[in-house]
Structure 1
């Protein structure tokens, strides 16, 4: 399916408005044709036939009315075309956002954030001129010349032969030049996306660049990228100028040819004056839509280049859900009453990797118990939490909740039952209260404060300039790492979900805060099913069960002291963590 068809399929309302814009513009062209024929008749009657100008006032009034009506019609067409572009852009942005949510963190981590942001904002915006200007111009380039040709054919068949030859020649010339314009525009959009990603990397890594003395080198690279983008932009503009110049020259030459042959036949008495004047007035209007399309051709190629990248993202398949457990009786399964979690021979391999992250992984977390996962880096701990959060789906085996296949439960419904505190929480630009309310958007201020108190965040929040209404900046820029972590824990308290996933939830805390948070988390864990990803082994000591992972398999399981007594891998991990033998 062509890019244009896919764009127009995004919004039925947008499609209808674009069709309306083309029809209205066609009506404007018809009104112009009538105007020009009337003008030729008025001029002929006044200057050649010697008619009294006073008798021409009805004709002049009709011309004025047609001009006014045409202006209104043109304005309506522009409004319809702009509405069509707005509808399609809005729908595409929403569709892109929804699809990125479905693709999940695994996809966004593999892509450059700046490039995705450029596609979502600049790429979609590039469709504005494509839809509101290029598509109407291209459609009118096929309709209006045909209408003018039919009228000219009726007035002067000889001139129609010139138009019949010149029109296709102009289209052929545009097509020949258009191939280079398309390639350059695609390259420009790719370079703009790369530049956006590079700038975002630089901004996010500014402290590192300053500390390692690499800021000048980075600035030089940005200069090189900017210069290359500038050169490509100039190539695009140069090609657009050449396209317009060639089309203008060809159209002017064709109009001059028509003027010459019409004048010769007029002087020889082979063509009446009124018809000759009408043909001379209509001929530029035959070429005008083709010239307009040439002017908008750059917008067309830019829109297509952006659309191809947009559809590349939209065509990225979602994580595959195992078909055998999608639904119960054709409907998603209900949330069970108990939250026993089970991993039954689960296997998962990341795309592009040979070694599986998990292999025949077996684990049971009884309802209301806390299980801690420990193991070296790359053992598969984060993969287990990603599977439970349904950011990814298992390649083999299955995960169950209260005996029900997790894949049979709607993702949104399941995630409503889970509170998650990641190792590096994300705080959004907004107030402290707004960030805590991500745990429960309808929570009242008293609940927000209670959650903050439970996370031992209330004291530092009160010390902020506006307390809970303090704007903390993007990624919590105005807070320390420990403060950011405690706000994330407050979210989990506020959500009050039956399943809790803690990915090193006490990271970045001082010793006193860590002790208090552990006590708070112990209270929060009562009656809940808790999975702890313990990068720091102290988090695992009080768990009901500790599971040691190595190369994607559970190699040991038991309580802290029990595992120490076995003198196995867990004991070696603890010894390494404490800096020596036990």
Structure 2
């Protein structure tokens, strides 16, 4: 369960309210049994009904206040995050709102599903042992079936949320770059891409709902059959005269109360599943670069070996037993469809993702044993979306080093862009490169990589994605200057980028085909 500030106090309060509710349920059942067997409308029944109403109102007030405070805290946490703006926007709006069903619906129902059945069973033991044993035998069936169906629903809900955050991030990027897209006639293609992502999210949502409906059917069927198993013997024993009418009615009134909280918790779990996934992501610690070991390797082009590397994100396998050798000074292009794990492979090599299984050897030394900061200093990396910060163009290229900024800008075909800026390299740009087009931001990222003239390893993650042909060619020409005398690994969708490699390695479904090393 995700940890929220004040969650423990909230659960204690729910426990107190749940215990009082369990006691009121017993009183209400006693009074209702007396009423139905001709005993009249007693004070006990009226008090129990009134108390149950007040407890429900009190629980609604408590859950509402806690949810409002928790959601405000989540929004502050997310707004201070440095994650992708599109993902943060989706989490702050849709994600935080989705936690309401979890905080105000599922958690209270979960507490009641523990306390009320226990109280009912204890009361039935003192009233009718046979019925109590039937309840004890059948009650576990509901959480068992709920867990079996819930395991399937969990994976689908996580996929649904991942598609939603990806859609939000891509849509924001498309809106930001709309002037450039319109200029180069790519707006229609991006609209089709956004529509395809929206359709994928809609399909995932319908798939999740089908599982939720199946769960409700299973829970209702199990509960109904269980109550029938109790009611049938009660009827026969009542006819035989071995059971009084008051006892029979008390059992029949109490038995459904034992199953009701479990059924409610199961039903509310599916309504809260998306919120729980969003809550886990919002409370997840920020991803930090691995600190690594203390071994320092000599600078220069490395030889790299992926030895049975696997990476799992929850139940999803991004990489599966990847075996790949990149010889010193070799240029390898990683090809394959979107989602096949190419970017994850680079993230593993950068040390940003730790393999679930297997290892990466650099000149025969485990990557985890290397000094991570020194390893990154010897690496030139050009991602799909270079992260630019508020500052001058020169500062964004140099990143605190003493690089030859004008030379790097010329090599990246950025000098013509710099010449048009009011103050040249000293021109300030906004956060995330505000004020520059997508192509210009990409060339700043390339200039940053080109400035690493002493780097022995070059990593490129589809640097020409979303660029027009002219800008793409400029980026490719500049990229060629990075490769001589260095080991290079790059993700390539476009043939022009793959052509710069000495060999290409396909990656399909997170695997390198057998026989390819």
TM-score range, shorter chain: 0.5 to 0.7
Query: How far apart are the structure 2 equivalents of 1:87 and 1:135?
Result: 16
Query: How far apart are the structure 2 equivalents of 1:352 and 1:142?
Result: 55
2:46 equivalent to 1:64: yes
What is the match of residue 287 of structure 1?
259
Asked whether the 8 Å contact 1:18–1:80 carries over to 2, the reply is no
Asked whether the 8 Å contact 1:148–1:286 carries over to 2, the reply is yes
Stretches of 4+ aligned residues off by more than 6 angstroms: 347-350
Question: For 1:308-361, what per-residue CA distance to the aligned partner results, in whole angstroms no more than 9, with x for missing partners?
Answer: 32233x2424899xxxxxxxxxxxxxxxxxxxxxxxxxx97795961499xxxx
2:29 equivalent to 1:36: yes
1:354 to 379, 393, 399: 379
Higher relative contact order (CA 8 A, sep 6+): 2
Asked whether the 8 Å contact 2:393–2:429 carries over to 1, the reply is no
2:65 equivalent to 1:91: no
Query: How far apart are the structure 2 equivalents of 1:139 and 1:230?
Result: 33
Could you tell me how far 1:172 is from its partner in structure 2? 0.8
2:168 equivalent to 1:200: no
2:62 to 57, 73, 80: 80
Query: How far apart are the structure 1 equivalents of 2:240 and 2:190?
Result: 74
2:429 to 424, 446, 451: 424
Query: How far apart are the structure 2 equivalents of 1:254 and 1:196?
Result: 45
Structure 1 unaligned residues grouped into runs of 5+? 47-55, 101-107, 321-346, 358-372, 387-420, 428-474, 476-480, 483-534, 536-548, 554-582
Asked whether the 8 Å contact 1:170–1:251 carries over to 2, the reply is yes
Question: For 1:373-415, what per-residue CA distance to the aligned partner results, in whole angstroms no more than 9, with x for missing partners?
Answer: 998x99x5343599xxxxxxxxxxxxxxxxxxxxxxxxxxxxx
Query: How far apart are the structure 2 equivalents of 1:210 and 1:171?
Result: 54
What is the match of residue 154 of structure 1?
126
2:160 equivalent to 1:188: yes
Query: How far apart are the structure 2 equivalents of 1:138 and 1:287?
Result: 12
Asked whether the 8 Å contact 2:30–2:45 carries over to 1, the reply is no
What is the match of residue 453 of structure 1?
none
CA 374–299 in structure 1, closer or farther in 2 if over 3 Å, else same:
closer
What is the match of residue 439 of structure 2?
none
Could you tell me how far 1:422 is from its partner in structure 2? 6.3
What is the match of residue 381 of structure 1?
398
Could you tell me how far 1:160 is from its partner in structure 2? 0.8
Asked whether the 8 Å contact 2:96–2:278 carries over to 1, the reply is yes
- TM-score, normalised with respect to structure 1: 0.52
Could you tell me how far 1:215 is from its partner in structure 2? 1.8
CA RMSD of aligned residues (A): 3.4
Counterpart of 2:280 in 1: which secondary structure?
helix
Counterpart of 1:11 in 2: which secondary structure?
coil
Could you tell me how far 1:29 is from its partner in structure 2? 2.9
Could you tell me how far 1:64 is from its partner in structure 2? 2.2
Query: How far apart are the structure 2 equivalents of 1:33 and 1:163?
Result: 16
Query: How far apart are the structure 2 equivalents of 1:247 and 1:88?
Result: 31
2:93 equivalent to 1:121: yes
Asked whether the 8 Å contact 2:29–2:253 carries over to 1, the reply is yes
Could you tell me how far 1:154 is from its partner in structure 2? 1.0
Counterpart of 2:379 in 1: which secondary structure?
coil
1:24 to 17, 25, 30: 17
2:287 to 310, 313, 316: 316
Equivalences for 1:66-465 in 2 at 5 Å? 66-98=48-80, 100=81, 108=82, 111-312=83-284, 314-317=285-288, 351=376, 354-355=379-380, 381-384=398-401, 423-425=428-430
Could you tell me how far 1:125 is from its partner in structure 2? 2.9
- Please say which structure displays the higher CA radius of gyration: 1
